[in-house]
Amino acid sequence: MITLYAFRWVPDFAKGYVRDLRVRWALEEAGIPYRERLIGLDEKTAPDYLAIQPFGQVPAIEEDGALLFESGAIVLGIARRSEALMPIDPAGRARTEAWMFAALNSVEPAIANLADIDIFAEGEAWAAARRPAVVEMIDEKLSLLEGWLGDRDHLEGRFSAGDLLMTTVLRDLEHTDLVERRPRLAAYRDRCMTRPAFAKALADQLRSFEGNEPEG
């Protein structure tokens, strides 16, 4: 059985947004059972854990002795096992993979920059100076993404691992109105988030923190 490594505790703003959510969601969509191994923040840079996740981050998984890290790589591995996340024809698979890379490589970096500015550097002068340019960069990506979607329900006509990752990336803008300003994009994100597998994954991540003492 797959063991998923996740944090035992994170600050409130991160609850429901930690990247193991992507893996939980993919596993739920694929109908693959898993168990959790919750680690403390003090364990993340211990040699034992660095042998599992070289950067001391979550998520990571272990299955039959095989270790894997990076949420995108883990979701890709799950998607390759399940038609629920990826079509079986080679062209459809390639398109799904392209959207997975697009979510993580073309859209997520600017959104992660904004999270740094708004959460980790809140109140700092450099953050206030940098913010407008980062917002503009994100807005351009969102505009093009919304343009691509047009009247489509999903990025490629059916739900796939590309939509899964894109949705988790867009959720990181929930503290802004950048997605809400774009009704088609907001509807797309919400459509993906109404999937039962998402609700189950989110509930399971939130439950995993319950009753755990603050750390760090």
Q: Where do contacts with ligand GSH occur on this chain (CB under 6 A)?
A: 18-19, 44, 56-59, 70-72
Nearer to ligand GSH, 6 or 84 (CB): 6
Query: Hunting for tokens 């809140």 — which residue is that?
Result: 122
- CA-nearest of 149, 136, 141 to 187 is 149
7: β partners: 39
Helix (H) / strand (E) containing 63 = strand 60-63
- CA-nearest of 147, 148, 205 to 171 is 205
Nearer to ligand GSH, 16 or 92 (CB): 16
Q: How far is the CB of 178 from ligand GSH (least distance, A)?
A: 20
Establish whether the linkage from the previous residue to 183 is cis, with ω within 30° of 0: no
Q: How far is the CB of 59 from ligand GSH (least distance, A)?
A: 6
Q: How far is the CB of 56 from ligand GSH (least distance, A)?
A: 5
* Tally of CA atoms within 13 A in the half-sphere of 134 that contains its CB: 19
Q: How far is the CB of 79 from ligand GSH (least distance, A)?
A: 15
Nearer to ligand GSH, 45 or 143 (CB): 45
Nearer to ligand GSH, 59 or 162 (CB): 59
